[in-house]
Each structure stands twice: as structure tokens, then as C-alpha cells.
Amino acid sequence: MAAASLSPSRRAWQRFRRNRLGYWSLLIFCALVVLSLFAELLSNDRPLVVRYEGQTYWPMVHDYPETTFGGDFATPTDYLDPFIRQQITRGDNWAVYAPNPYGPKTLNYFAKAPNPSAPTVDNWLGTDDRGRDLLAQLIYGFRVSVLFALALTAIGTVLGIVTGAIQGFYGGRTDLAFQRFIEIWSAMPELYLLIIFSALLAPSLGLLLVLLSLFGWMGLSDYVRAEFLRNRQLDYVRAARAMGLTSGQIIWRHVLPNSLTPVVTFLPFRMSAAILALTSLDFLGLGVPPGTPSLGELLSQGKNNIDAWWISLSTFGVLVVTLLLLTFMGDALRDALDPRKQELA
């Protein structure tokens, strides 16, 4: 009896788990995202902790001038400087470095190979044409992409659900007016707007988020609208109305939970579309402000330095793996929520 009393969403989750590829993709993707959230611990040009002359320093959170560690200048310490390294590791002094001792913007002035450098013991995936470590850039670039995609997906989904619900539930003139508005709005040339705005305003992730969100909700809104149009006709909604529930209560308790299937199904695909959008805008130079670690900017570097194969290849690899994981998850989710499969199961 206990096994029989699963809610529809619990049963969908069980079907999702049965798809091993999708399930493992979800686990791996989540692990990657969590790891990238702690990128500062993984890849940082500052040591995590330094013990120097009997005192403990936390360079990760505090700036210390070079004079602290016996240097000559009062400028912030460059921990890649061989002299500083020697100072903080000599005698009883010790320092704990991140596994990859470079940040995303770190320029290694003491590198042994010319830029861009092929993979070496110092730079595991090589450096880009400005001498920044590629692995560090990929880790931080992945984080920026995923967080941006999450935010864009969340905003687009909420907007899509709200607008779709209003159109579908109220129907009639509301629906008609909204549909015409969507037709006009979707005819706006999105790319030109991006180019214009990136020329007018200082480029930033926030601006990009706003601009892409302005247009990203329309596709989903149509699906939600169709689900609402169908579900509001069903008898349980009529029964709820006869029971005296308000429209808000009916939407929230009855129609919305039963209309979320397309929303959930599209989530991973929307994520991967958002990652791709950010990457391609960065590639064109319309995306994030210069200096932000970004996969698109790396790809464009790879194009400009075609013989530096490690740049394009490793970036390409990260993109492919990310998008593949998302696509596998999406496939599994679609199967799990397919009503026809539910009948067979």
C-alpha cells in the first residue's frame, strides 16, 4: 500500500531515476555546479592560508602588502613571484595553495613559456594569448555560464508561467490582446537591440540578463497557455468553482500543478539554450564585460590563435560535456513526464 500511494510527481521522479543516463547526468551536473561554486578554493592565485614568522595570514580574504612577507614595495603581494614564494615557504613558514594556483585574471609575469603556452606542469591546460591560465578560466567561465543560465531560465520560466496562466485561464479578450502583443513583441529584432544596447550602456551580466529575459519568456508562455486552456475546462475545475473557490485559489491549487509538465520538460533545454546564447554573444563580443571569464571569449581566442589548439579544444570540450549532460537530463525528464509512458509503466 505504501508503494502505491505515490504522488504523480514522485512517480515521475522514479521513472526519471530508471533512466540511468539522465540520472547520472543530473548527478554529475550537480556535482560540477557545486564544485564550481567553490572555485576560489580550487583555482586561486593567492594561497588559502599562510604561516609566516609565527603569524597566520589569510590572503584569500585579506590583501597584504608585499612588505608583510619581506618584499620591498607596499603593493599587494604577487604570490606567484618566486621571491615571495621562497619567503613564505622558508624555514618554519608554510603556505597552502589552491590545487591550481591561478585565478581567472591572473597574469603570470614569471611564466617560463611564451604566451599562449601549451599545457605544461605549471599550467595544466596551457595559457591563453594574454598568459592567463586556461584551466582557471574554464572553471570560472563554467560557473558564470551556469549561474547566468540558471538566472535566465528562472526569470524566463516565471514570466512564461505568469503570462501563460493569465492568457489561458481568463481567455477571451485578455487572451486575444496578449496574443497580439506577443506577436508584435516577438517581431522585435533581438540581436540588433543587443548590439545597440551594448553600444549605449556599459556591458554587464545584469544588462544581458534583462535584455535576454525580455524576449525569452514567449516560447514557454504559449505552452503554459495551451495547458491552462485545456485544464480550465476539466470537471475538477468546474467542481472547484461550484465549491466556491476564488479564481486565484483555483489557479494555484488546481490548474497550475497540472499544467507544469511542459515547464519542467523544457527546463534543461532552456538551460542549455541560455548557455549557448551567452557563449555566442561573448564570442561576438556583445556579452560579458572584458575581463570576465567566459567560454565564448575563449572560443574567439581559439579562433584567433588557431595553432594554439589547447584553447579551442578544451573550451569546446567543456561546452560539449555541459550541453550533453543537460540534453540527457532533458531527455530523461521528457520520458518521465510523458503521459503515454505513464500508462505503460
Q: Is 241 in the site for other proteins (CB under 8 A)?
A: yes
Residue in the structure block whose three cell numbers are 514567449: 218
CB 228, min distance to other proteins, A: 14
Residues within window 8-47 making contact with other proteins, judged by CB under 8 A: 8-9
Tally of helices (H runs) and strands (E runs) in the chain: 15, 3
Residue 161's CB is within 10 A of a number of other CB atoms, namely 22
**Count of residues that bind other proteins according to CB under 8 A:** 23
Closer to other proteins by Cβ: residue 244 or 290: 244
Nearest to 68 by CA among 91, 34, 93: 93
Closer to other proteins by Cβ: residue 194 or 237: 237
Q: What span, in angstroms and rounded, lies between the C-alpha atoms of 331 and 322?
A: 14
Q: Which stretch binds other proteins (CB under 8 A): 7-15, 87-95, 109-117, 325-333?
A: 7-15
Q: Could you tell me how many residues make up the chain?
A: 345
Q: What span, in angstroms and rounded, lies between the C-alpha atoms of 195 and 193?
A: 5
Closer to other proteins by Cβ: residue 86 or 233: 233
Closer to other proteins by Cβ: residue 62 or 340: 340
What's the longest Cα–Cα distance across the chain? 83
Q: Is 247 in the site for other proteins (CB under 8 A)?
A: no
All cell numbers assigned to 110:
614569471
Compute the half-sphere exposure of residue 25: CA atoms within 13 Å on the CB side of its CA: 21
Q: Is 6 in the site for other proteins (CB under 8 A)?
A: yes
Q: Among residues 71, 171, 257, 285, which is the contact residue for other proteins, using CB under 8 A?
A: 257
Edge-to-edge strand ranges of the sheet holding 55-57? 55-57, 49-52, 94-96
Give the residues across from 65 on adjacent strands: 76
Closer to other proteins by Cβ: residue 265 or 322: 265
Q: Which stretch binds other proteins (CB under 8 A): 54-62, 132-140, 210-218, 230-238?
A: 230-238
Closer to other proteins by Cβ: residue 62 or 173: 173
Nearest to 224 by CA among 155, 152, 162: 162
Q: Is 112 in the site for other proteins (CB under 8 A)?
A: no
Q: Is 243 in the site for other proteins (CB under 8 A)?
A: yes
Closer to other proteins by Cβ: residue 130 or 253: 253
Q: Is 105 in the site for other proteins (CB under 8 A)?
A: no
Q: Among residues 254, 263, 300, 319, which is the contact residue for other proteins, using CB under 8 A?
A: 254
**Eight-class DSSP state of 6:** -
Residue-wise DSSP of 225-292: HHHHHHHTTSHHHHHHHHHT--HHHIIIIIITGGG-HHHHHHHHHHHHHHHHHHHHHHHHT-SSPTTS
Q: Is 239 in the site for other proteins (CB under 8 A)?
A: yes
Q: Please list, in sequence order, all residues whose beta carbon lies within 8 angstroms of the beta carbon of residue 87, skipping any fewer than 6 positions away.
A: 52, 69, 70, 71, 93
Closer to other proteins by Cβ: residue 307 or 343: 343
Q: Among residues 4, 61, 74, 199, which is the contact residue for other proteins, using CB under 8 A?
A: 4
CB 338, min distance to other proteins, A: 14
Q: Is 245 in the site for other proteins (CB under 8 A)?
A: yes
CB 219, min distance to other proteins, A: 24
Which amino acid makes up residue 77? T
CB 230, min distance to other proteins, A: 10
Q: What span, in angstroms and rounded, lies between the C-alpha atoms of 88 and 95?
A: 7
Closer to other proteins by Cβ: residue 20 or 253: 253
CB 235, min distance to other proteins, A: 4
Positions that interact with other proteins (CB under 8 A): 1, 4-9, 234-236, 238-245, 253-254, 257-258, 344
